[in-house]
């Protein structure tokens, strides 16, 4: 037997990863549903539950995980809202410009 100390480390207990916040999972699922089944409603749900999940995770002091899931739900929700609002704004602007655009085309046709 040698008198050298052993280089083996004592076995350390594995700490399990923190449990995901339920709200973060709901946020991600709502964000996905907002793109496929429930446009706008799913996006609103994803945004609300995503912010609630972030607050819950922050207040848990490390005992809850799922911050990435909540962020993904928030991104999906906000992008869906933007994609819903842009066409509405374009339609509104075109409706306001309709009479003036019609006059321009009428003048072009008359002058031809």
Q: Mind listing the pLDDT tens digit for each residue in 61-108?
A: 989 999 999 999 999 999 999 998 998 888 888 777 777 666 666 666
Q: In the block, which residue shows the tokens 């050298």? A: 4
Rounded-to-integer distance, Cα 31 and Cα 78, Å: 9
pLDDT band at 24 (very low <50, low <70, confident <90, very high): very high
Q: pLDDT digit string (tens) for 37-57?
A: 988 899 999 999 999 999 999
Task: State how far the Cα of 78 lies from the Cα of 33, in Å rounded to an integer.
Answer: 13
pLDDT at residue 38, as a whole number: 87
Structure tokens at 102: 């019609």
Query: What are the extents of the domains in the chain?
Result: 20-111
């Amino acid at each position: 037997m040698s008198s050298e100390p052993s280089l083996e480390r004592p076995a350390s207990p594995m700490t399990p990863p923190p449990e995901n916040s339920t709200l973060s999972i709901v946020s991600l699922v709502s964000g996905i549903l907002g793109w496929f089944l429930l446009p706008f409603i799913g996006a609103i749900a994803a945004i609300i539950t995503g912010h609630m999940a972030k607050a819950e995770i922050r207040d848990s002091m490390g005992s809850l995980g799922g911050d990435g899931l909540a962020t993904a739900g928030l991104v999906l929700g906000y992008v869906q809202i933007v994609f819903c609002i842009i066409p509405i704004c374009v339609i509104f602007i075109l409706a306001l410009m309709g009479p003036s655009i019609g006059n321009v085309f009428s003048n072009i046709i008359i002058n031809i």
